[in-house]
Chain A
Amino acid sequence: MNGPAVAAIYSFEMARTFRTIVQSIVSPVLTTSLYFVVFGSAIGARMTEIDGVPYGAFIVPGLIMLSVLTESISNSSLGIYFPKFTGTIYEILSAPISAVEIVMGFVGAAATKSLMIGVIILATAALFVPLHIEHPVWMVVFLLLMSIGFSLFGFILGVWADGFEKLSFVPVLIITPLTFLGGSFYSIDMLPPFWHTVTLFNPVVYIISLFRWSFFGTSDVSVGVSLAMTLSFIAACLAFITWIFKTGYKLKS
């Protein structure tokens, strides 16, 4: 185990985060506040409650996940894409480090940042609505799992991407819609039967449902199924990353 190497990559990536600290913190805080103004106050005034939870509070888990997913993906993908783009990846490839250690460094840093942002959004939300968290330990565990899982996914995206368009394509055109349609702002039980069934093919549904359960003790889909879906997503990412390094796919010629 090459500990210093993991630490070096991790701190390099964290330094990148802290160079843009203002932007890193201001943008999620601002976005969250805007969502609360629009959804919480304007629409929430008419929606009152979902599953016995006031609408303002109901959207909090979805809002956190929305940011955590997009931040995990964009940070992690940029983290590995940038050295590929500038050519500095030569040093990582020539260093005595294993694939696992490289992933630990990059994904660890991206997940840390997502976690920080998740906590910041939670704190911002608490300013707007009274929050009671039913299962705080699970909440933290899930937040951690999602941060890591989607940072792994972002890592794959960063390795795969060979241009900046591809890098922004996936978050903007796939992840954001899936999150919006995944019940961030409503319960999928509110959908007509056909769309309800379609929605069940959206993996983000399970993630948000699971996370919301840790807040309010109620969920759209069963907790067991959600957990299984989330864990298999992470396992699939790990398997894919292993394959990437075994074959050198897009990292080595």
Chain B
Amino acid sequence: MIHMPSIISVADLSKTYKSGLSALSGINLEIERGEIFALLGPNGAGKTTLINIICGIVTPSGGKVTADGHDIITDYRAARTKIGLVPQELTTSAFETVWATVSFSRGLFGKPANPAIIEKILKDLSLWDKRDSKIRQLSGGMKRRVLIAKALAHEPTILFLDEPTAGVDVELRRDMWNMVRKLREAGVTIILTTHYIDEAEEMADRIGVINKGQIILVEEKASLMRKLGRKQLSLQLHDKLESVPDALASYKLELAPSGLELTYTYDAQAESRIPNLLTAISGAGIVFKDLHTSQSSLEDIFVNLVSNRA
């Protein structure tokens, strides 16, 4: 496989705010061309700070960032032309119309006016009917879509979505996910932050976890789930058991207080032991009437990761 150079490359990035607070330290991160990358982390972890530095809103204290090969500071024009940003906060100018504000964004990013493109963006985001409405007359969810339209107005190849679905209803969330997928199909690289883990699970190709200003993990979503995802096998027993028989000691089974349920916790590597376990259980004369397995979600993985490092 030919390795394409990353579209965003962050090297040894740090940020200390004037207050003396160190928001980021020693961040190294490569974003692959065309992927959807989800950045997860608790409140105050530094997600927005990282995004704002890459987009030019916050000045880094140290380190280097390139976007599509362009240094974000020395070659900021080329770098920023590629980037679109949907900020976390709903910040819009109140008195303009939707059409005017989206056209404004396109101009700001140096692109000549192009009504056809603006029209397409507004239609894709179901804002076409609202094009002549003043922004303050829109609902919160519509305002968020206006911010997305503004970010797309100059046809960026890299899109940052800082908590795009915060405060958004279920239907609009679905719409947004579809929109993100469509953008990815069109070749746009997407970096999103979210507190909804199911969102990352549903959307992302890769997942990065940031905590206290440090990246603590970057993984393919699938391999992350495989590696860190715990599985559990529970057996509902036919007869009450006083204790786990010695013959089964090596499996570290847990017996529920009722004595009617045995639980075996394992990870993906240990899957092969299941048949042996079941044989051993029958061998010990234990009869079960039902069994089921469960797999931890990304949410469990995330909570584990962050609390372990706390």
The 7 A-B residue pairs with the shortest CB-CB distance, nearest first, are A8-B107, A87-B91, A96-B80, A96-B77, A4-B107, A94-B55, A2-B110
Contacts of A3 in B (CB 8 A): 110
Q: Once the chains are docked, how many angstroms separate the CA of A7 from the CA of B89? A: 26
Q: Does B144 contact A (CB under 8 A)?
A: no
Interface residues of B (CB under 8 A from A): 17-18, 52, 55-59, 76-81, 83, 85, 87, 89, 91-96, 100, 103-113, 150
CB distance from B113 to the nearest CB of A (A): 8
Besides the known contacts A4-B106, A4-B107, A252-B59, 12 further A-B residue pairs in the complex with CB atoms under 8 A apart: A4-B110, A5-B109, A5-B110, A7-B107, A86-B92, A87-B91, A88-B92, A91-B150, A94-B85, A97-B108, A248-B59, A253-B17
The A63-103 residues at the B interface (CB cut-off 8 A) are: 83, 86-88, 90-98
Bound together, the chains give a CA A248 to CA B113 distance in angstroms of 29
Interface of A is mostly: helix
CB closest chain-B residue, reference A3: B110
User: B residues within 8 A CB of A132?
Assistant: none
Contacting residues, chain A, for B83 (C-beta < 8 A): 94
Provide a sorted-by-A list of 11 A–B residue pairs whose CB atoms are within 8 angstroms: A2-B110, A4-B113, A12-B96, A19-B95, A86-B91, A88-B92, A88-B93, A91-B85, A95-B108, A96-B80, A252-B59
The reply to whether B80 and A94 form a contact with Cβ atoms under 8 Å apart is yes
Number of chain A interface residues as a range: 20 to 34
With the chains together, A9 CA to B113 CA distance in Å? Answer: 14
How far, in whole Å, are A166 and B83 apart by their CA atoms in the complex? 35
**Residue of B whose beta carbon sits closest to that of A248:** B59
Which residue of the partner chain, among B59, B87, B96, contacts A15 with CB atoms under 8 Å? B96
Between A7, A9, A86, A94, the greatest number of chain B beta carbons within 10 A of the residue's beta carbon is seen for A94
A90 to chain B, nearest CB (A): 5
B58 and A95 within 8 A (CB): no
Q: Which of A4, A9, A83 contacts B112 (CB 8 A)?
A: A4
Question: Cβ of A90 and Cβ of B76 under 8 Å apart?
Answer: no
Query: In whole angstroms, what is the CA distance A111 to B150 when docked?
Result: 28
The one of B17, B59, B76, B95 in contact with A96, judged by C-beta atoms closer than 8 angstroms, is B76
- State which of B55, B56, B59, B108 has its C-beta within 8 Å of the C-beta of A8: B108
Q: Are B109 and A95 in contact (CB under 8 A)?
A: yes
Instruction: Indicate if the CB atoms of A93 and B56 lie closer than 8 Å.
Output: yes
- B-chain residues with CB within 8 Å of residue A96 when the two chains form the complex: 76-81, 109-110
Least CB separation from A1: chain B residue: B110
**CB-CB contacts below 8 Å: A149-191 with B:** none
Cβ-closest chain B residue relative to A83: B93
User: Per a CB cutoff under 8 Å, which of A2, A86, A95 touches B93?
Assistant: A86
Contacts of B56 in A (CB 8 A): 93-94
**A16, B96: Cα distance in complex, Å:** 9
A32 to B106 Cα, complex, angstroms: 41
User: Smallest distance from the beta carbon of A157 to chain B beta carbons, Å?
Assistant: 21
